[in-house]
Amino acid sequence: MSTHLPAAPEAEFAHRTALVTGGASGIGLALSRRLAAGGATVVVADHDEKAAREAVAELASGGARAAAVALDVTDPASVEAGVRHAVDTFGALHLAVNNAGIGGPSRPTGEYGVEEWDKVVATNLSGVFYSMRFELPAILAAGGGAIVNVSSILGTNGFAGSPAYVAAKHGVVGLTKTAALEYADRNIRVNAVGPGFIDTPLLRDTDGPARDHLISLHPAGRLGTPEEVAELIAFLLSDRASFIHGSYHLVDGGYSAP
């Protein structure tokens, strides 16, 4: 058995190109920064092109190679074009993180709007499928790599009032496991992470009592940070996780422990 250790973290992603959907804010932005710090070339893909360009300007100011691309994960043609842009710009795609997602309204299942359901599932589940549909052939062409799909603690738990979100995030876990089985012997690792409630722009407008309730669900006594999630994702993308395939890793402050 080889005892060769991976490169030091500051160089662990050198000579690799990574695509991050939803890469201009929250967990995606923290991850884009983390990958750039590790030497990756980063393609920041986001529906908000202005925010993506601002993120790229920040990364470039620190010496990173990066590019922005406007990408709507609910549109297969947009996703295909975004992956092609990454390959055409930097020559190959080695890593991908499918992070783009939305929360949706809070409503019981029997009152949930059909259009609301369709929108949440289209973004949070179909968007992950569309992304992998075009990322996997590109990564195969590059000789292999890794994909991490961002699910949620609600990929394994229920949550009253969020039927579409919970169903979609459960689906992401199943989709991850299936792709991992299909590509494990083709030098592509596919894994998922399940963040707890994270202090991102999506939650910063939550009022005091609601925010306090969310915090109370985590035995750690606080919300997570985008950087904590990014660190786990970076590990799963790295050669340090070379024997991890098809796994679903929680980063949730103990939410799922009880």
pLDDT in tens, 187-203: 999 999 999 999 987 77
In a domain? residue 209: no
Catalytic one of 112, 165, 183, 255: 165
* Cβ contact 153:250 at 8 Å: yes
Sign of the C-alpha dihedral computed for residues 8, 9, 10 and 11 taken in this order: positive
Task: Kindly indicate the confidence band of residue 3, based on its pLDDT and cuts at 50, 70 and 90.
Answer: very low
In a domain? residue 206: no
In a domain? residue 255: no
Q: What is the mean pLDDT of the chain?
A: 94
pLDDT value of position 2: 41
- Between 37 and 9, the higher pLDDT residue: 37
Mean pLDDT calculated for residue range 166-192 = 98
In a domain? residue 211: no
Provide the number of structural domains found in the chain.
1
In a domain? residue 125: yes
Whether residue 136 is predicted with pLDDT greater than 90 in this model: the reply is yes
In a domain? residue 218: no
Q: Structural domain of residue 108, as residue ranges? A: 10-199+226-250
Mean pLDDT calculated for residue range 168-186 = 98
Q: Could you write out the three-class secondary structure of 29-89?
A: HHHHHHHHHCCCEEEEEECCHHHHHHHHHHHHHCCCCEEEEECCCCCHHHHHHHHHHHHHH
Task: Kindly indicate the confidence band of residue 208, based on its pLDDT and cuts at 50, 70 and 90.
Answer: confident
Of 1-10, 93-102, 107-116, 153-162, which gets the smallest average pLDDT?
1-10
pLDDT value of position 227: 97
Q: Which strand ranges, in their side-by-side order, compose the sheet holding 248-251?
A: 66-70, 41-46, 17-21, 95-98, 145-150, 188-195, 248-251
Whether residue 153 is predicted with pLDDT greater than 70 in this model: the reply is yes
pLDDT value of position 9: 65
Whether residue 205 is predicted with pLDDT greater than 70 in this model: the reply is no
Whether residue 54 is predicted with pLDDT greater than 90 in this model: the reply is yes
CATH number at 77 reads: 3.40.50.720
Confirm whether 255 is a catalytic residue: no
In a domain? residue 1: no
In a domain? residue 71: yes
